[in-house]
Amino acid sequence: MVQTDAVVVDDIVKRFGGERRRILPFRRPRREQSAPVLAVDHVSLRIRKNEIYGVLGANGSGKSTLIRLISTLLIPDGGRVEIFGHDVIREEKVVKRMLNRVSVEASFFKKLSPVENLMYATRLYGVPGSEARREIPRILEALGIEPDRFNRPLEQMSRGMQQKVAIARAFLTSPVLLLLDEPTTGLDPRSKLDVQEFILRLRRDHDATVLLTTHDMAEADALCDRMAILESGRIVVEGTPAELKARAATPEHPEPTLEEAFMHFTGHSLEEMEEAAAS
């Protein structure tokens, strides 16, 4: 049977916390109970090959934990995840060769330049040197990085510029599954557009599948074929941007925005949820 699903997430659960040991000076160790946090609560979804699938939610909703479970960085407490038919636990090495991940906390050798960091990454992924030298300038320019910055140490660059280099690093390996965890956080509007256009180009030219987590409603509306809204670790609703907006429409407000649809399904604005998570 032809495999049509790039990602299958089936009833996965992830908890953090629980019992831990606390040592007090001059006293016997005693156990301190802490309630476990259910970060991902029986989530199921399917992402089709060549689809851009979005997961929307506030900070603390479980978006990043879900990405880490799919990328093999975390092991689920229950359920299963498959990438192109390969189980992320039993076939971890195979899965890792298929994907790349970009997150807001991307790490680099800050004393090295973008080109040096990218050349190092391509060697780890087995990209031929001649191909890397040809593709690195092209990808950096496509992301809006000027040639005079290619050989400047990353520590001299802005947070947004470093994020672009992280995105370039992921693109260079031509993954069949690209996991983007808040990829445009910290970028200016022009840079956001550069990244969004490049995501669409990667999908078109390399037949890639993209999973995007974001709290940027305009970005999700522009990029995603389908999306899920996540709240407290659970999927509240799933559908295309047009479907979600249509389901949130009322006679008094027949054409809601995606932000208004988000409020319809969660009962809160994204800003309210962010403030609640931070408090």
pLDDT confidence bin for 143, thresholds 50/70/90: confident
Tell me the whole-structure pTM to 2 decimals.
0.84
Domain range for 206: 5-22+32-278
pLDDT confidence bin for 125, thresholds 50/70/90: confident
Banded model confidence at residue 244, pLDDT cuts 50, 70, 90: very high
Burial grade of 250 (CB within 10 A; 0-12, 13-18, 19 or more): exposed
Answer yes or no: is 190 within a domain: yes
Overall number of domains in the chain: 1
Taking only the tens place, the pLDDT of each residue in 67-124 is: 999 999 999 999 999 999 999 999 999 998 888 888 776 678 888 999 998 998 888 7
Specify the pLDDT at position 18. 67
When pLDDT is averaged across residues 187-202 and rounded to a whole number, the result is 84
Residue 247 lies in a domain: yes
CA 19 to each of CA 16, 22, 35: distance values in angstroms, whole numbers, following the listed order: 10, 10, 8
pLDDT at 191 over 60: yes
The pLDDT-based confidence of 1 (bands split at 50, 70, 90) is: very low
Q: What is the mean pLDDT of residues 135-160?
A: 87
Q: Is residue 28 pLDDT above 80, yes or no? A: no
Residue 27 lies in a domain: no
- What are the pLDDT digits (tens) for 204-240? 888 889 999 988 899 999 999 999 999 999 999 999 9
- Distance set, CA 266 to CA 13, 38, 56, 205, 276 (Å): 21, 18, 11, 36, 13
- Is residue 55 one of the residues assigned to a domain? yes
Residue 126 has pLDDT above 80, yes or no: no
Interval 198-206 mean pLDDT: 84
Residue 30, pLDDT score: 55
Spatial separation of the C-alpha atoms in residues 52 and 211, rounded to whole Å: 6
Asked, for residue 147, whether it belongs to a domain, the answer is yes
Average pLDDT over the chain reads: 86
Residue 2 has pLDDT above 70, yes or no: no
Asked whether residue 174 is domain-assigned, the answer is yes
List the CATH number of the domain containing 239. Answer: 3.40.50.300
Lowest mean pLDDT among 20-24, 44-48, 126-130, 214-218: 20-24
